[in-house]
Copies of this chain bind each other. A is one copy, B any other.
Amino acid sequence: MDSVARLGERLQEFAAARDWEQYHTPKNLAMALSGEAGELVAELQWLSDDETKAGLAEGPLKERLADEAADVMLNLVRLTDMCGIDLIEAANAKIERNETRFPPKT
């Protein structure tokens, strides 16, 4: 099974076991995703590119970013599942549109 489909399945089981499906409307999940994106951005807001590079090499920053990126991903997978959207298909289709929109340098 595809890794993203498997995440969606785990999230569905997680919500069902806690009776949380009632909260997982597209609107609420979009808000949750936006809040998590804000936490991700907050990790990097005062760092220069060199400080980020150093922080990633040391470890704690990388763990914090991985944790926030995971939160964004979980909300994104759950949101697209709730909307009947195939996230991987949509992402590949978007790359293809971008390839036309922004032709490569020659």
Contact = CB atoms under 8 A, between A and B. Distances in A.
A93 B70 CA distance: 8
Q: How many copies does the complex hold?
A: 4
Interface of A: 2-4, 7, 10-11, 14, 17-19, 23, 25-28, 30-47, 49, 52, 56, 62, 65-67, 69-74, 76-77, 79-80, 83-88, 90-95, 98-99, 102, 104-105
A27 to B, nearest CB: 5
A94 B71 contact: yes
A17 B104 CA distance: 5
B76 A72 contact: yes
Contacts of A7: 88, 91-92, 95
